[in-house]
Structure 1
Amino acid sequence: MTTKKTRAPAAAPATEQVSPEAKAPRETRSQTLVALMRVEAGATAADLGAAIGWQVHSIRGFIAGTLKKRTDITVVAERKDGATRYRVVDRAEVSA
């Protein structure tokens, strides 16, 4: 007579119960870039890249491709002392 080997039921993995207010909202890379560009002096592409770990060409592509398509903000590029500084301004600020 052969006996069947049976496995014991697997224990459910212990999950941590985290309350919703204990979890901080995650800040995205785009939010970080926009926050840095909202400063009155703006930020260079090198500064922005160092802040989030992107290369300069990726920063420029993000500005040209993503931010310029958004309707609520405007990106202004100013060249001073051989460096281009990017600033985000509201639409109302541009039209005034």
Structure 2
Amino acid sequence: MTAPEVHSSTKAKRATPPSKAGRPKAHPKQPKLSVTPAELPKVEAAARNTKQNRILALLNERNGATIPEMMQATDWQQHSVRGFLAGTVKKKLGLALTSSKSDGELRRYRLETRRGR
């Protein structure tokens, strides 16, 4: 019998470091869109129609909104809407969120308008 072969556990080293020319850029530039000035308001309005803005618009209404209304507007689940209200609306944005409940109705949430300043 022969002696068992001993394998080296070192990794193979590259002869030369890779060049920067071969690597893709971390943040490639976006191509410029050709939008005419007449189309600009439509493009901006579409960009602002986010789920967050939909909920904020519902909360700014006079009667506010219920959680099922916000769920329908965003296709989020109930826990996601509640998390958005607590984490984003109250903590991150620092908005005054109030809620009210009448007998036999669902709880309605709305943004309190700030007076002064």
Q: Same fold (TM over 0.5)?
A: yes
Taking the TM superposition and a 5 Å limit, the aligned residue runs for 1:42-53 are: 42-53=64-75
Distance 1:16 1:88, change over 3 A: closer
Partner of residue 107, structure 2: 84
**What is the TM-score with the length of structure 1 in the denominator?**
0.69
Is the strand fraction higher in 1 or 2? 1
Deviant stretches of 4+, over 2 Å: 15-21, 90-93
C-alpha root-mean-square deviation of aligned residues, in Å?
Answer: 2.2
Among candidates 39, 59, 69, match of residue 81 of structure 2: 59
Post-superposition offset of 1:37: 1.0
Post-superposition offset of 1:44: 0.4
Distance across 2 between alignment mates of 1:37 and 1:17: 35
CA contact (8 A) 2:68 2:78 kept: yes
Percent identity over the alignment is 32
Q: Which whole-Å deviations, capped at 9, do the CAs of 1:31-58 have from their partners, x for residues lacking one?
A: 1101011111111000011011111111
- Higher Cα Rg, which structure: 2
Q: Where do 5+ consecutive residues of structure 2 fail to align?
A: 1-31
Distance across 2 between alignment mates of 1:20 and 1:56: 40
Distance across 2 between alignment mates of 1:32 and 1:39: 11
Task: Between the two structures, name the one with larger relative contact order (CA 8 Å, sep ≥ 6).
Answer: 1
Post-superposition offset of 1:20: 5.2
Letter in 2 for 1:85: R
Q: Where do 5+ consecutive residues of structure 1 fail to align?
A: 1-14
Q: Which shifted more, 51-60 or 79-88?
A: 79-88
How many residues in Structure 1 have an aligned counterpart in Structure 2?
78
